[in-house]
Amino acid sequence: MNPELTAHLSSPANQLRWTSADLELLPENGNRYEIIDGELFVTRAPHWQHQSTCVNFCIALKAWSQTTGLGYVAMGAGIIFGDQDDVIPDVLWLSQAKYTSLIDQKGHLQGAPELVIEVLSAGTENERRDRQVKLKLYSARGVLEYWLADWRNQQIEVYRRDNGILKLAITLYINDTLTSPLLTDFACPLAQIFD
């Protein structure tokens, strides 16, 4: 293990709070490292269907974005909300104006995109991260919509900003069509997302 990382982990003052700077000390081993409110989350390479679902979201949003010219979609792009909130959502969409104001020299966003999508991975800790911790973070940081996709059950929970926080607006199932007030005339059958 990296000596600097070992020293960091053994220091009582630093055991509880991780920062963006700490990410530089972690090994490049294929794991995804995220920090939310100073807590480190480590995930391994996701299931094939998880990634396929992410790609399908990207395809649908990219086609709509190219037709309308309203914004950009990315898969696995980093968002640095602050020193103790550094995450990598599965998929995100942001308007041209947000892109111009939020992108830094390293290609990370320095603030909230309009839309964040997370695809659930198996496991209690993964579900807690996406359903509770990330929902709270995205709500506090100003994300306008949060889509939580469950490819196993073929459903999407759509959270929309209401009175300053993200609240569950609707749960969509395989025979439903996904739309959004953020994305004028965007319509995508869920069967296409979970194909």
Residue 1 has what pLDDT? 46
Task: Return the domain boundaries, the chain.
Answer: 3-41, 46-193
Residue 61 has what pLDDT? 98
Residue located via tokens 């949060």: 146
- What does DSSP say about strands 39-43 and 32-36: parallel, antiparallel, or unpaired? antiparallel
Residue 15 has what pLDDT? 58
The number of helix segments (H) and strand segments (E) in the chain equals 7, 12
Whether residue 36 contacts residue 83, with contact meaning beta carbons closer than 8 Å, is answered with no
CATH architecture of 46-193: Alpha-Beta Complex (3.90)
| HSE toward the beta carbon, residue 142, CA cutoff 13 A | 8
Coil vs helix vs strand at 96: helix
- Residue 103's DSSP bridge partners are 109
CA dist 7 and 135 (Å) reads 32
Residue 108 has what pLDDT? 85
CA dist 181 and 7 (Å) reads 49
- Residue 17's DSSP bridge partners are none
- Which stretch of DSSP H or E encloses residue 85? strand 85-87
Mean pLDDT in runs of 10 for the chain (195 residues)? Answer: 46 66 77 80 77 96 97 93 90 95 90 97 89 96 98 97 97 98 96 95
CA distances (Å), origin 93, targets 4, 21, 113: 36, 26, 6
Nearest 10 degrees: Cα torsion 26, 23, 140, 155: -40
Tell me the H-state helices in 11-47: 20-23
Burial group, residue 48, by CB count within 10 angstroms (0-12, 13-18, 19+): exposed
